[in-house]
Amino acid sequence: MLTPTDKIWHNGRLIRWDEATIHVLSHVVSYGTSVFEGIRCYATPSGPAVFRLREHVRRLVDSARIYRMENVGFSADQLAEGMLELVRVNKMESCYIRPIVFRGYGEMGVNPVKNPIEVYLACWSWGKYLGEEALAEGVDVCVSSWTRIAPNTLPALAKAGANYMNSQLVKMEALANGYSEGIALDANGYVSEGSGENIFVVRDGKIHTPPLGASVLPGITRDSVLILARDLGIPVVETLVPREMLYIADEVFFSGTAAEITPIRSVDRIAVGKGRRGPIAEKLQKEFFAVINGTRPDQYGWLSPVHAVQPAAAR
């Protein structure tokens, strides 16, 4: 169960957790009119720091724009500052941050534009997404019988609430059949992504990941993996991945804010490689965790400290 924090940010104002309620006839409830983000704040030796805050805010603004919410009422800087303030007032060392932009209460009917845009920022403590052992041991997954949202239906580059009805079908089917997660194929039958993760496939030392045209969310962890792999000198390509590549791969792994970098040890009960975490996933995890835990200098500028850094003279 969700453990409440003190405050939630609503349209620029901090309100109590229990006050953050909406009317049942808000546009979002009937029509799914929302875009959102998922961001992690990590405990580092110099205090809590938000991972790739700018990139997440940018994707939120992009998602809103795709749905013709051209002005959400707050600038990217205001939203970013709102999140840092939220983590501060809730006194969190680490947490998951969930900004949500949606169409609220006003008019009924499919046309959303007369309904007010509401912006909420919330945070809470969120542990390991696919189970405690997943990061070290890997997870057992299946290819879903559900197809990922297709081009010209729901735009995959937007992180919209409605997309997650598709993700829920994928996830529920996987769990019902005894798997941790499902992988959806795109409308052309190529590998797309997990219900809440991007996917990577390794063969002969080279990493493959589906391109943005394969109905994937442009994952920020995905981008981080591409950068880390490049800097480790591991060849990586964004390319169409046929389903059967999953069965003959040396390694397969997921990336996501919640899932971080999670190895996959079997697909459809076929062992991936040796049936456990592979060396490339392990190497990338090591790099990734060194950055987010702040045990290595933040060479990419990926961490936004929650507490303002004191100028040297004031220390």
Rounded Cα distance, 193 and 265, in Å: 16
| Binding span for ligand PPE by CB under 6 A among 130-138, 254-262, 274-282, 304-312 | 254-262
CA nearest 144: which of 195, 201, 182?
Answer: 182
* Binding flag, residue 208, ligand PPE (CB under 6 A): no
Determine, following the binding rule CB under 6 A, whether residue 258 of this chain makes contact with ligand PPE: yes
Catalytic residue flag (residue 159)? yes
Binding ligand PPE by CB under 6 A: which of 48, 161, 182, 196? 196
- Distance of closest approach, residue 174 Cβ to ligand PPE, in angstroms: 13
- Residue 142: which residues within 8 A CB-CB, separation 6 or more? 173, 174, 177, 179, 182, 183, 267, 268
| Residue 52, both tokens | 């790739």
Chain residue whose CB lies nearest ligand PPE? 38
Radius of gyration for the alpha carbons in the chain, expressed in angstroms and rounded: 20
* Interface segment toward ligand PPE; rule CB under 6 A; list 14-22, 25-33, 139-147, 256-264: 256-264
Q: Shortest Cβ distance from residue 182 to ligand PPE (Å)?
A: 11
Please, what is the minimum distance in Å from the beta carbon of residue 221 to ligand PPE?
Answer: 3
Candidate residues 4, 11, 32, 38; the one interacting with ligand PPE per rule CB under 6 A: 38
Matching residue, tokens 């405050």:
7
The answer to the question of residue 222 lying near ligand PPE (CB under 6 A) is yes
Instruction: Provide CB contacts within 8 A for 202, sequence distance 6+.
Output: 208, 249, 250, 251, 252, 253, 278, 280, 281
CB of 229 to ligand PPE, least distance (A): 15
Q: Is 17 helix (H, G, I), strand (E, B) or coil?
A: helix
DSSP code per residue over 183-231: EEE-TTSBEEEESS-EEEEEETTEEEE--GGGT----HHHHHHHHHHHH
Q: Which of 64, 117, 121, 217 is the binder for ligand PPE (CB under 6 A)? A: 217
As to burial, measured by CB atoms within 10 angstroms (0-12 exposed, 13-18 middle, 19+ buried), residue 296 is: exposed
Q: Which is nearer to ligand PPE, 115 or 146 (CB)?
A: 146
Contact between 63 and 38 (Cβ < 8 Å): no
Q: Which is nearer to ligand PPE, 138 or 161 (CB)?
A: 161
CB atoms within 10 A of CB 283: 14
* 48 binds ligand PPE per the rule CB under 6 A: no
Site string for ligand PPE, 104-143 (x = CB under 6 A): ----------------------------------------
Member of 198, 209, 215, 304 binding ligand PPE (CB under 6 A): 198
* 66 in contact with ligand PPE (CB under 6 A): no
In angstroms, the CA 41 to CA 96 distance is: 6
Total residues in contact with ligand PPE, by rule CB under 6 A: 16
Q: Which helix (H) or strand (E) holds 123?
A: strand 117-124
Binding footprint of ligand PPE on the chain (CB under 6 A): 38, 167, 193, 196-198, 217, 219-222, 255-259
Catalytic residues, by residue number, are 159
